[in-house]
Amino acid sequence: MSRDADNLTPRVFFFRHGETEWAKLGRQTGVTDVPLTEHGIEQVTPTATHLVGTGKLVDPERVVRVFVSPRERAQQTLQCLFPEEDLPIYPGFLRITDGIAEWDYGDYEGLTAAETKALRKEWGLDAEQEWSVWRDGCEGGESMQQVTRRLDRLISEIQDIQWAGMEAERPADIVLLSHGLILRAFVKRWLSFPVDMQLSIMLAPGAMGILTYKNNNIDEPAIHVGLTFP
Residue 102 burial by Cβ neighbours in a 10 Å radius (0-12, 13-18, 19+): buried
pLDDT level of residue 226 (50, 70, 90 thresholds): confident
Query: Using an 8 Å Cβ cutoff, are 212 and 104 in contact?
Result: no
Average pLDDT over residues 8-24: 95
Secondary structure in 3-state letters for the chain? CCHHHHHHCCCEEEEECCCEHHHHCCCCCCCCCCCECHHHHHHHHHHHHHHECCCCCECCCCEEEEEECCCHHHHHHHHHHCCHHHCCCCCCCEEECHHHCCCCCHHHCCCCHHHHHHHHHHCCCCCCCCCCHHHHCCCCCCCHHHHHHHHHHHHHHHHHHHHHHHHHCCCCEEEEEECHHHHHHHHHHHCCCCCCCCCCCCCCCCCEEEEEEHHHCCCCEEECCCCCCC
Decide if 17 is catalytic: yes
Annotated binding-site members for substrate: 29-30, 73, 102-105
User: Which residues sit in the known binding site?
Assistant: 29-30, 73, 102-105
Distance CA 115, CA 121 (A): 10
User: 208-213 and 221-223 as β-strands: parallel, antiparallel, unpaired?
Assistant: antiparallel
CATH class of 3-223: alpha beta
- Going from the C-alpha of 71 to that of each of 67, 98, 151, the distances in angstroms are 12, 9, 17
The yes-or-no answer on residue 61 being catalytic is no
pLDDT value, residue 8:
83
**Domain boundaries of the chain, sorted by first residue:** 3-223
> Mean pLDDT across the stretch 176-187?
97
84: pLDDT strictly greater than 80? no
List, for residues 48-76, the tens digit of each pLDDT value: 888 998 889 999 889 999 999 999 999 99
pTM: 0.93
Catalytic option among 102, 109, 142, 179? 102
pLDDT band at 87 (very low <50, low <70, confident <90, very high): low
Residue 20 has pLDDT above 80, yes or no: yes
